Amino acid sequence: MDIKQYVSDKAKKAKAASRALANCSTEIKNNALFKMAAGLEKESGMLIAENKKDLVAAGQKGLSKAMIDRLTLDADRIKAMADGLREVAALPDPVGEVTRMWRRPNGMQIGKMRVPIGLIGIIYESRPNVTADSAALCLKSGNGVLLRGGSEAVHSNTAIANILSGAGAEAGIPEGAVSFIENPDRACVMEMLKLNGVVDLIIPRGGEGLIRMVSENSTIPVIKHDKGVCHVYVDCKADAAMAGEICFNAKVQRPGTCNAMETMLVHKDLGASFLPAMLDRFMKAGVEIRGCAKTKTFVPAVKAATDKDWDTEYNDLVLNVKVVDSMDDAMEHIALHGSQHSEAIVTDDYAKALRFQREVDASAVFVNASTRLNDGFEFGLGAEIGISTTRIHARGPMGLEELTSTKFIVFGNGQIRK
Amino acid sequence: MDIKQYVSDKAKKAKAASRALANCSTEIKNNALFKMAAGLEKESGMLIAENKKDLVAAGQKGLSKAMIDRLTLDADRIKAMADGLREVAALPDPVGEVTRMWRRPNGMQIGKMRVPIGLIGIIYESRPNVTADSAALCLKSGNGVLLRGGSEAVHSNTAIANILSGAGAEAGIPEGAVSFIENPDRACVMEMLKLNGVVDLIIPRGGEGLIRMVSENSTIPVIKHDKGVCHVYVDCKADAAMAGEICFNAKVQRPGTCNAMETMLVHKDLGASFLPAMLDRFMKAGVEIRGCAKTKTFVPAVKAATDKDWDTEYNDLVLNVKVVDSMDDAMEHIALHGSQHSEAIVTDDYAKALRFQREVDASAVFVNASTRLNDGFEFGLGAEIGISTTRIHARGPMGLEELTSTKFIVFGNGQIRK
């Protein structure tokens, strides 16, 4: 098989379809999403059978238990995937919204209209539900999508993609608008990344290795969904009970996520009053603590943090703790070690709250709330394709609006350039 | 000289300065712009002397007359450059604007705040005024800037950059926030393009070759300012006089620009009434016409257009002319041959006007106005860094707002993730 030709043909067909899709009505797109949801539920048995093939191969390859769990499809997960499609159907269509319109001295009326980006390439790993989620978000926002899942889920993904494109065709979605690259050869990814002028945007969803590989090799714009080294700073003016709840939630509620806290920064005045009880609570919940020298003076039992620890995303029940002299020290630590993902302060001090929020650089800056709330659903944006850590186009939770671009629309009556 | 080290040191210093600049007040930034403008005017004699060195070298290298003209600085051009800085000072500061704010059911209040992107790398050719323009726009939007001009203008650019950073330092701008790479070695550009995590965005300004080189080699997000193959479609329901003015303006007023018309599409019903007089007017203005077969039946004297012509940006007094059967044919031609830059229709038909504007894909779509109006000043956005042809982040004229990113700001009172 000529990989270059195969990928390029798929992409060009998807691009042509994306042009027609850009002008599809909301009704057609929603109808397609409902048919896709129904199709997934109807073919539940077939999907589980195809998934089984991936699971057997995963067992033979010796994939970790956590990875096998992520890979597994059952009736409940298929139902959840279908419900996800229906939720996207229920969201407002972003395409065609005119976000602003104004008049110029020469009488021209100018507006900015949301339009689809074009053809979006999604490169992802492991979880087969990403196939359905990504396709739904791209479809609703009027974008063609070229999906490329991990080889470990190829049977599951192919089966899901076939159901989606079949249901889409029935609903009148242009053929190829939802395309999937079934060939598991890694060379396909490299070809995708070079299709300038055909693929308009690449979104990698997966581990650090995948994201680095994509950024380094793509000649197409990439929006990354990268790691988070997130902090909560507990100020001397914090409500101790609130700080306790927020820090515990930020670390323990789901430690494997990018918006979980990796380092707790505590003002030195709270070293005796707050720190021992807080660390005790963490340790009882199974959290391993790695502290700075000052932390050890207050709670001698903790392990000493190494230089590398302050820059590490554990994705696990491990927490760095640092005692700081002031909010400025905390902000300095965040600037040096943070990943500009999710940062929080707990304080009752009005001026400090506003200053922290203004000066700290992150996709979301929280006052008196948990970093775990940095999420499209929690923010009220609806379903999200991830939390962007790229600094242009979209930063933070990336939903339907962030999957659009804009064009200027100009209504004149004979204006020319002087 | 170790090029890698040299570029990396400059960039890291500029990045550190950009963090401090992000929190500089509007007053400090505006004051710096005024001092920079005054500095350029005061050092006019020195700038002209430095520019002379570039002009001598350009003469020896045998650069074209047009290129030497673009390179030349005189008192008027220096005054214009200084006035440009003052105009940027007069624009509103985009940093800190909260574009939206809403409340969630759990009581959290969430806003989206404009923040600087970070450190922007500008890679450009020839015209030395780009040094001052780019620096001013980046500074006002709170971004650090790493400038890299063409080797043919190295003396002029270095002199301008030195004045700008000197004046900036006087006004309290963090040192290094406006940085210039004086070393003319091309390897410097390649190093810049690989500084992920230090440089946040690359903007190339120049010819097709430069833009392609940058897109292909950068591992950092790039916003391109690429070529324009723009069309005006004259509909059968057009006001002929208005169509004539718009088409003439779009081609002749400044043919060397990216928003000038390259192809005029004319509805077949106007073949006898409109076309001969229009083409006569063009030819009298020195425009070479290349027509389709049908055009030749109406105006036999014109040269036949080749397949390649329809995709060519002439940047010159050359125009393709095609007679089409319908607006659908015109839109099909635009989809096939256009560069999604600036597209226009001239019509008195309400339904066609709205359909053309909705369905044609371009950074700006005009009804009854010249494509030449696709410009930041004309749109009322103020000074622009160029017209983006990238489909993400910013499309069309790119001013101060488009040089910002956003962050979510969250005001809570103890919210945690359930």
- The answer to whether the CB atoms of B405 and A415 lie below 8 A apart is no
Structure tokens at A217: 């090799």
Q: At what angle do helices A26-42 and A44-61 cross, to 10 degrees?
A: 70
Q: A110: nearest CA in chain B? A: B379
Rounded CA gap, A391 and A408, in Å? 23
Whether residue A115 lies within 8 A of chain B, CB to CB, comes out as yes
Whether residue A358 lies within 8 A of chain B, CB to CB, comes out as yes
C-alpha dihedral, B140 to B141 to B147 to B150, nearest 10°? -80
**Helix, strand, coil percent content, chain A, rounded in steps of 5:** 45, 20, 35
Looking only at Cα atoms, what is the longest distance across chain B?
79
Whether residue B21 lies within 8 A of chain A, CB to CB, comes out as no
Name the amino acid, one letter, at A204. Answer: P
Query: What is the side-by-side order of every strand in the sheet holding B230-234?
Result: A98-103, A109-116, A404-415, B364-369, B342-346, B230-234, B261-267, B318-324, B288-291, B303-304
- How much is the average pLDDT of A60-79? 93
Q: What is the pLDDT of residues B31-83, one digit of tens each?
A: 999 999 999 999 999 999 999 999 999 999 998 888 899 999 999 999 999 99
Whether residue A374 lies within 8 A of chain B, CB to CB, comes out as yes
Structure tokens at B32: 């710096």
Rounded CA gap, B223 and B230, in Å? 20
Helix (H) and strand (E) counts in chain A? 15, 16
Rounded CA gap, A84 and A183, in Å? 26
H or E element at residue B291: strand B288-291
E strands along A270-395, which residues?
Answer: 288-291, 303-304, 318-324, 342-346, 364-369, 387-388
pLDDT band at A208 (very low <50, low <70, confident <90, very high): confident
Closest CA to A98 of A107, A109, A89, A87: A109
H or E element at residue B149: none
Enumerate the residues of chain A whose CB falls inside 8 A of the CB of residue B196. Answer: 215
Structure tokens at A391: 């600094």
Enumerate the residues of chain A whose CB falls inside 8 A of the CB of residue B111. Answer: none
- How much is the average pLDDT of A270-284? 97
Q: A119: nearest CA in chain B? A: B391
- The answer to whether the CB atoms of A392 and B201 lie below 8 A apart is yes
Q: What superfamily would CATH give domain B230-378?
A: Aldehyde Dehydrogenase; Chain A, domain 2 (3.40.309.10)
Name the amino acid, one letter, at B155. Answer: H
Whether residue A253 lies within 8 A of chain B, CB to CB, comes out as yes
- For residue A186, pLDDT over 80 is answered with yes
Contact indicator for B351, B332 with CB cutoff of 8 Å: no
B289 Cβ contact list (under 8 Å, min separation 6): B279, B282, B283, B295, B299, B302, B303, B319, B321
Given this model, what pLDDT does residue B206 score? 86
Whether residue A109 lies within 8 A of chain B, CB to CB, comes out as no
CA distance A39 to chain B (A): 31
Map residue A404 onto helix, strand or coil.
strand
Contact indicator for A202, A220 with CB cutoff of 8 Å: yes
- CB contacts under 8 A, A 270-289 vs B, are none
Given this model, what pLDDT does residue B375 score? 95
Q: What is the pLDDT of residues A353-365, one digit of tens each?
A: 999 999 999 999 9
Given this model, what pLDDT does residue A126 score? 72
Contact indicator for A385, A203 with CB cutoff of 8 Å: yes
Residue located via tokens 């044609």? B360
- How much is the average pLDDT of A317-341? 97
Whether residue A332 lies within 8 A of chain B, CB to CB, comes out as no
CA distance A200 to chain B (A): 7
The DSSP secondary-structure symbol of B55 reads H
R_g of chain A, CA atoms, integer Å: 24
Name the amino acid, one letter, at A237. Answer: K
A397 Cβ contact list (under 8 Å, min separation 6): A374, A375, A376, A379, A381, A384, A386, A387, A388, B408
**Domain B3-225+395-411 falls in which CATH fold?**
Aldehyde Dehydrogenase; Chain A, domain 1 (3.40.605)
- For residue A319, pLDDT over 90 is answered with yes
Q: B413: nearest CA in chain A? A: A368
State percent of chain A over pLDDT 90: 93
Given this model, what pLDDT does residue A1 score? 79
Contact indicator for B268, B325 with CB cutoff of 8 Å: yes
- The answer to whether the CB atoms of B104 and A380 lie below 8 A apart is yes
- How much is the average pLDDT of A221-248? 96
- CB contacts under 8 A, B 390-409 vs A, are 390-393, 395-397, 405-409
The β-bridge relationship of strands B342-346 and B364-369 is: parallel
- For residue A99, pLDDT over 80 is answered with yes
Whether residue A362 lies within 8 A of chain B, CB to CB, comes out as yes
Segments in chain B below pLDDT 50: none
Contact indicator for A258, A384 with CB cutoff of 8 Å: no
Report yes or no on whether pTM surpasses 0.90: yes
CA distance A254 to chain B (A): 9
Whether residue A355 lies within 8 A of chain B, CB to CB, comes out as no
Q: Which of B248, B348, B402, B416 to mutate to probe the A interface, most A CBs <10 Å?
A: B416
Contact indicator for B128, B147 with CB cutoff of 8 Å: no
Structure tokens at A413: 């009556």
User: Which sequence spans correspond to the domains of chain B?
Assistant: 3-225+395-411, 230-378
The beta-carbon neighbor of B415 closest among A216, A373, A391 is A373
**A366 - beta bridge partners?**
A344, B410
Map residue A328 onto helix, strand or coil.
helix
Sign of CA dihedral A18, A19, A23, A24: negative
The β-bridge relationship of strands B404-415 and B109-116 is: antiparallel
Rounded CA gap, B256 and B259, in Å? 9
Rounded CA gap, A189 and B214, in Å? 21
Closest CA to B127 of B145, B104, B150: B150
pLDDT band at A226 (very low <50, low <70, confident <90, very high): confident
Name the amino acid, one letter, at B192. Answer: M
Rounded CA gap, A61 and A68, in Å? 11
Closest CA to B193 of B223, B212, B221: B221
pLDDT band at A383 (very low <50, low <70, confident <90, very high): confident
CB atoms within 10 A of CB B240: 14
The beta-carbon neighbor of A365 closest among B253, B379, B410 is B410
* Chain mean pLDDT for chain A: 96
- The answer to whether the CB atoms of A412 and B368 lie below 8 A apart is yes
- The answer to whether the CB atoms of B96 and A363 lie below 8 A apart is no
Rounded CA gap, B116 and B406, in Å? 8
Rounded CA gap, A278 and A271, in Å? 10
- CB contacts under 8 A, A 206-225 vs B, are 215-216, 219, 221-223
Rounded CA gap, B67 and B71, in Å? 6
- The answer to whether the CB atoms of A221 and B222 lie below 8 A apart is yes
CB atoms within 10 A of CB A399: 24
Q: B374: nearest CA in chain A? A: A408
